[in-house]
Chains A and B, each alone.
Chain A
Amino acid sequence: MRGPTIQFAAMSAVMAGMTVATLAAQTHKEYRFNVGPKAGVSVNNPYGSVTVKPSTGNFVVINAILASDKVEVDNSLVGNRVEVQSHLLAGADDRNARVDYEILAPADASVTLHSTAGALRAEKLHGDMNLEGAGANVDVRDITNAHVHVKTLNGPVSLTNVQDGHVEVDSLSGNVTLKGVNGPLVQVISTSGAISYVGDFGDHGEYRLTSHSGDIEAVVPDSTSADVSARTVRGEVHDDIPLQPKEHPSYVLQKGIAFWGTMGRAAASSTVVLRSFSGKIHLRKRSEK
C-alpha cells in the first residue's frame, strides 16, 4: 500500500475506535413519573440539550443519554413536580458531562429548563414555560395559551406558532425570531441582537420589540390591523406600508428616525412599539406568493 493510503486507513481506524469508545461510554436511562393535572417539570442541565414534547397521559417520561460516568442524573418527584438535575462529578467537563434529555410531559405541564450551552426545545404544550441559558439555543413552537419566558445571553431564540401567549424574551446578544406569535403581551428586549417578527400582531395585544443596537424587522400581511410606532435615536426607520398618521403623537415624528400610525382598520386593536437606539427598524408587507 502507498503511504497516503496507509495514513488514511490508520486515521479511519483511530476515528472508528474513538467513535466506538464514545458510544461505549454513553449510557441511556429512562425514568417515569405519574403526575396530576398541571404538573411541573424542572430540568437543570449544564451541558447538553433538553427537548420537551407532550405525553399522552398524566405521566412524565425522561429519556437521558449520558456522555460518560462523569455525570449522573438526579431526579425526584416533589408533590406534583418532577425535578431533574444533571449532577457533575469530579473530572467532568463540557464534553464528558453532556446529557441530552428528551422528555414527554402532559401538555398542560409547566416547564422550567436551564442549560448553559445546550439547545432547549419545547413544542405542542399549553402550560407555562420558562427557559434560560447563557448560550442556549432556544426553540419553542406550537404553544397555546401559555406564558413563555425566555432568557439567553447570546443564544438565538426562535418562537414559532405561539398563540394567545404572554411572551417575554430577554436576550443580550442573541438574535430573536418570532413567527406567528400573538397574544395579549409579546415583549422582546435585546441589547445587540436582531429581532425579527413575522405575523399579524394578533387582534388585541401589546407588542413591544426593543433592541439597543440590533436591527428590528416586522413583516406583516395585508390584513394586519394595529397602531404601530417606531423610533430610533441614531439608527433609521423604514416603513413600506402606508399608515394613517396619528393626530397627537407623543414624540416628534422626525422623518427617517420615527413613524407612528395605524395600519388596517381605523379602530386598531393591537399596539405595536418598535424601539432601537442605533439599529434599523423596518416595517414591511409580507409578499404574497
Chain B
Amino acid sequence: MTCLELRESLVEQEDGSRPEQRAHLKDCSECATLVADLLVIACAAGELRASHEPSPRVWNSIEIALRQEGLIKPQHSHHSLLPSFGSSWGWSRWLAPVAALLLIAAGIYVRQYSHGPAIARNEGRPTVQAPVPDTTIAGLNASLKDDDLLQGISQQSPALQATYTDNLRRVNQYIQDARSTVDADPSDEDARRSLMEAYQQKAMLFELALDRSLP
C-alpha cells in the first residue's frame, strides 16, 4: 500500500486498523502521524459534540464553502448538511470545530503540497491527486469569522478582549507572511511547516477562547 492508497483508504476506515493499513503505518511515520492527528481531532470533536454545538450559522457557512468547492453535492431536501441545533447553545460552541477545521485545512494544504510530488516520483507514474485549491482554505477562513470570536470574548470575558484582538491580529499576520513565503517558493519545506505552525497558533487561539476555565 502506498501513501496515496493509505490516505484514500482512510475514507472507509479512518482509524487505520485494517491489516494493510497497519502494515503501511508501521513503516511510514508520516502517515502514522496523519492518522494519529485525525484520531485526536475525531476524539476531541466527539467529546465536544456531547456538550457543545455550534450555531446553525457557522455550520451553514462551512457548508456553503464546501459546496462552492464542489466537495459536497447539493441535497434535494432543504435540510442543512449538518444537523441544526437549538438556540440555547452559547457563542463558544463553534470554536472547537472551527479550530479543528483550521488544522484540517492547513494540514491538507501542507500535506498535499508536501507529498504530492514525492508520491509521483516514487511511483514513477502521474498522480491524480491535485493540491487542495487555495480557495478551499480561503473559503473556510471566510466562514470562520474573527469578529465572531471577538464578539464572543467581549460578551464572555470583556477584560480579555484587547488581548485576544491583539493576538488575533498578530497570528493573522503570521499566516499571511507564511503564506506569502510558501507562494514564493512552494518547494520550500520550511515555509510550508511555518504555514502549518501559523494555523496551529490560530487554532490554539480559538481553543483558548473555548478554555474550560473561562468563567
Which residues on A sit within 8 Å (CB–CB) of B163?
134-135, 153-154
- A94, A115, A153, A210: the one within 8 Å of B197 (CB): A210
* Stretch from B45-53, B76-84, B201-209 forming part of the interface with A: B201-209
Which residues on B sit within 8 Å (CB–CB) of A212?
170, 173-174, 177-178, 194, 198, 201
Query: Do B201 and A170 touch across chains, with their CB atoms under 8 A apart?
Result: yes
Which residues on A sit within 8 Å (CB–CB) of B211?
114, 116, 132-134
- A97, A151, A275: the one within 8 Å of B208 (CB): A151
Query: Do A115 and B213 touch across chains, with their CB atoms under 8 A apart?
Result: yes
Query: Do B198 and A172 touch across chains, with their CB atoms under 8 A apart?
Result: no
Is A271 positioned at the interface, with any CB of B under 8 Å from its CB? no
Query: Shortest distance in angstroms between B162's beta carbon and chain A's nearest beta carbon?
Result: 10
Query: Do A250 and B189 touch across chains, with their CB atoms under 8 A apart?
Result: yes
Knowing A133-B213, A250-B189 are in contact, say whether A189-B200 is a contact too (CB < 8 A): yes
Is B167 positioned at the interface, with any CB of A under 8 Å from its CB? yes
Query: Do B208 and A191 touch across chains, with their CB atoms under 8 A apart?
Result: no
Alpha-carbon gap, A115 to B208, bound state (A): 10
Query: Do B160 and A173 touch across chains, with their CB atoms under 8 A apart?
Result: no
Which residues on B sit within 8 Å (CB–CB) of A192?
167, 170
Knowing A46-B213, A116-B213, A191-B171 are in contact, say whether A172-B194 is a contact too (CB < 8 A): no
Count B interface residues, CB 8 Å: 31
Query: Do A213 and B170 touch across chains, with their CB atoms under 8 A apart?
Result: yes
- Measured CB to CB, the nearest residue on chain B to A88 is B215
Encode contact with B along A86-98: 1 for CB under 8 Å, 0 otherwise: 0010001010010
Query: Do A116 and B214 touch across chains, with their CB atoms under 8 A apart?
Result: yes
Which residues on A sit within 8 Å (CB–CB) of B213?
44-46, 114-116, 132-133
Knowing A151-B208, A233-B177 are in contact, say whether A46-B214 is a contact too (CB < 8 A): yes
Query: Do B194 and A210 touch across chains, with their CB atoms under 8 A apart?
Result: yes
Query: Shortest distance in angstroms between A97's beta carbon and chain B's nearest beta carbon?
Result: 7
Count A interface residues, CB 8 Å: 35
Query: Do A170 and B204 touch across chains, with their CB atoms under 8 A apart?
Result: yes
Query: Shortest distance in angstroms between B30's beta carbon and chain A's nearest beta carbon?
Result: 15
Encode contact with A along B36-63: 1 for CB under 8 Å, 0 otherwise: 0000000000000000000000000000
Is A8 positioned at the interface, with any CB of B under 8 Å from its CB? no
Query: Do B205 and A172 touch across chains, with their CB atoms under 8 A apart?
Result: yes
Q: A226-264: which have CB < 8 Å to B?
A: 231, 233, 250-251
Is B188 positioned at the interface, with any CB of A under 8 Å from its CB? yes
Query: Shortest distance in angstroms between A72's beta carbon and chain B's nearest beta carbon?
Result: 14
- On B, residues with C-beta under 8 Å from A are 157, 159-160, 163-164, 166-167, 170-171, 173-174, 177-178, 181, 188-190, 194, 197-198, 200-201, 204-205, 207-208, 211-215
Besides the known contacts A45-B213, A114-B211, A277-B181, 9 further A-B residue pairs in the complex with CB atoms under 8 A apart: A47-B215, A116-B157, A116-B213, A132-B208, A134-B208, A153-B164, A170-B201, A250-B189, A278-B177
Listed by A's residue number, 25 A-B pairs whose Cβ atoms lie within 8 Å are A44-B212, A92-B215, A94-B159, A132-B208, A132-B211, A133-B213, A135-B160, A151-B204, A153-B167, A153-B208, A154-B167, A170-B201, A173-B167, A189-B197, A189-B200, A212-B173, A212-B174, A212-B177, A213-B170, A231-B190, A251-B188, A275-B190, A275-B194, A277-B177, A278-B177
